[in-house]
Amino acid sequence: MLKGHQSWTFASKPVIAATATVVGPDEGLGPLGDEFDIVHGDATLGQKTWEKAEKALLEEAAQRTLDKAGLTGGQVQFYIGGDLMNQIISNTFAARTLNMPYIGIFGACSTSMEGLALAAQLMDAGAAHHVMCGTCSHNSTAEKQFRYPTEYGSQKPPTAQYTVTGAGAALLAREGAGPVVSAATIGRIVDMGIKDPFNMGAAMAPAAVDTITAHCRDLGIEPGHYDLIVTGDLGAVGYAIAHELFAKHRFPIEQTVYDDCGLLIYDREKQAVQAGGSGCGCSATVTYGHLLKRMQRGELRRILVVATGALLSPLSFQQGESIPCIAHAVAIEAGGEA
């Protein structure tokens, strides 16, 4: 149901019946390594190309999710997914194997929560019994498509971010045990004129702040409503800027704990990831792996996940265009609450 300008509340409280996360070696070595379902020691996953490896990540995550929920692909009405590759090939090709009716979306790194919000909306509208949403990214495919060949020796500036190799999928059901999706806010495009693709945190931070403030305004709540507000992949630079922007707009973010998935997934002291993690897989694996497990352990009751996306293309930044950014927020609450 529409609430305010750009938010939905889900009266039927769709349940996140199962989630699964699959990551690569660097993410396995990070501080959240134990929270993921499958950690691959080999970034190629035994595949011939990086693109096939990325697709395999998603296939594994989706299959694992189905196994956990005790369902087959035929029992899931819709699969919603997207990724960073041109023409979202990773999801399309994975959907070919998964054999579920498929809705492809593109929201760059915001895809995880864009998919979850749409899936919850489908459930709430009674359009499905089960909906799965998923996303994936691979460091090497992203390097290849957006930057330079993976083995090319270029020096990255300290503002650059490291694309997460990982996939996350979630399955929504009408009832059952598990956390529920209670609300979502669809973000507007915010473009502050940043053109540097090695500084996406700074480009995306205003979009995240815009969506978080819009969410609280639409729902008539304060940030303290949540135990944790987490942004998708702002990294160290974007995170610091977001803090400044909250202060500037007198938004009381200090009522809650504010963190960023891009900072959680790696140990920036030990791993050479510059400003932190990024990519579709970043918010997906941290949310579906780490954060939902913390909810199950009872450490968190309500969280707001704000996945941030930089909607640039390799052509657009070469042609000197600025980077349009977006953020989508989804509120997740621990289940079993009256």
Partner 1 sequence: MANNKKKNMTMTQQEYQQLAKRIEPKRPVLKNCLRAFLVGGIICVIGQVLMEMFIHWFGFTEKTAGNPTVAVLIFISVVLTSFGVYDKISQWAGAGSAVPVTGFANSLCSAAIEHRAEGVVLGIGGNMFKLAGSVIVFGIVTAFLVGILHLLFGVGR
Give the residues lining the site for partner 1 (CB under 8 A).
48-51, 144, 148-159, 191-194, 199, 202, 205-206, 236-237, 240-241, 244-245, 272, 275
Smallest gap, in angstroms, from Cβ of residue 143 to partner 1?
9
Q: Identify the three-state secondary structure at position 309.
A: strand
Structure tokens at 276: 């932190």
Query: By C-beta, is 96 or 148 nearer to partner 1?
Result: 148
Phi, psi (rounded to 5 degrees) for 169? -135, 150
Q: Write down the residue that tokens 């190799």 correspond to.
A: 165
- Rounded Cα–Cα distance for residues 338 and 108 (Å): 35
Query: By C-beta, is 61 or 202 nearer to partner 1?
Result: 202
Smallest gap, in angstroms, from Cβ of residue 51 to partner 1?
7
The answer to whether 165 and 309 have CB atoms below 8 angstroms apart is no
- Rounded Cα–Cα distance for residues 44 and 31 (Å): 22
Smallest gap, in angstroms, from Cβ of residue 72 to partner 1?
32
Query: By C-beta, is 39 or 202 nearer to partner 1?
Result: 202
Smallest gap, in angstroms, from Cβ of residue 240 to partner 1?
5
Structure tokens at 104: 């492809």
Query: By C-beta, is 152 or 220 nearer to partner 1?
Result: 152
H or E element, residue 292: helix 292-296
Structure tokens at 147: 């930057």
Q: Write down the residue that tokens 């931070």 correspond to.
A: 205
Query: By C-beta, is 29 or 221 nearer to partner 1?
Result: 29
Smallest gap, in angstroms, from Cβ of residue 179 to partner 1?
34
